[in-house]
Amino acid sequence: MNVNRKRVGIVGARGHAGAELIKLVAAHPALELAFVSSRELDGQRVDAQVAEYVGELRYSAPAHEALPQLGADVVVLALPNGKAAPCVEAFDRAGVDPLIVDLSADYRFDERWYYGLPELTRGRWRGQRRISNPGCYATAMQLSIAPLKDVLAAPPVCFGVSGYSGAGTTPSDKNDPDKLRDNLMPYALTGHLHEKEASRHLGVPVEFMPHVAPHFRGLTVTTNLYLAHKMTREEVMARFRGAYGDEPLVRVVDDAPWVSRIAHRHHVEIGGFPVSVDGKRVVIVATLDNLLKGAATQVMQNINRAIGVDETTAIPLERGVSDKG
């Protein structure tokens, strides 16, 4: 053990995002794994499941009450929605205060927790020890809408399509490859949790219609925006370049991005920008890997900032890629 490194514990590491996070921690110069919990994988070696990890650590299944005694400086909760509170309460009862990053939606509406979408909320971080990681769709929607939020004439309407890894590992119609084959499965067409999340944090009502497709990873959100006054495509793009030009994990591209090109990549691509003849409607297309920038990569951004290292430490960046405009 390197005593200078922060020790990371992952609760619920069996899931797809948990595995991606293990890979990022394994490559990090200032982090090491303290424990990874999974009831299904209890006792198995981590390197048997995640080849990028080198070490002898095994999955474990500690009770919630035991988590504070495991010596983690950083705890990531990668649990299904509704399961985080008992873990958080265990640390509170024990008087142990690690940095806690929650991947679920459980604290995204809690003012006591910092909402960690760095490109939009970086300036609001004040050293909070409790961080709520945004949802994958909610990340794409907010980044698509924020640069034009002040000129909207109507609620944004977002059409989303995600790979089935977004439905988690618990078997359901939404992650059954046989049922998804040659199919596009709509669900939660009003009131989706990410619709509420994006609306809350943008401060404008957002309408969202999600679908699941047969591919495994990566999502696309196509957002229709009605504008209060006429704008040209160049003016719209200038707003997005101004907002994200210095962001290493956001790419503003000329054409509408393809979801097949974002898999296994850590950034968001935002493009398209067709403007209607009257200049009062524009369509924005955003793609991201739901397991990376939509989950594990964003966790790592938040951890990096909290421990005082560069925000992109251990996050693979593709240098020198720019838009065509």
Residue with tokens 């474990």: 60
Q: Is 136 a catalytic residue?
A: yes
Residue with tokens 């991005």: 257
Question: Strand, coil or helix: what is 220?
Answer: strand
Backbone CA torsion sign across 107, 108, 109, 112: positive
Active site residue: 36, 136, 243, 306, which one?
Answer: 136
Alpha carbons 8 and 99: distance in angstroms, whole number: 9
Q: In DSSP terms, which residues pair with 137 in a beta bridge? A: none
Alpha carbons 247 and 187: distance in angstroms, whole number: 32
- Nearest Cα to Cα of residue 316 among 286, 292, 299: 292
Q: In DSSP terms, which residues pair with 74 in a beta bridge? A: 8, 99
CB atoms within 10 A of CB 151: 17
Catalytic residues: 136
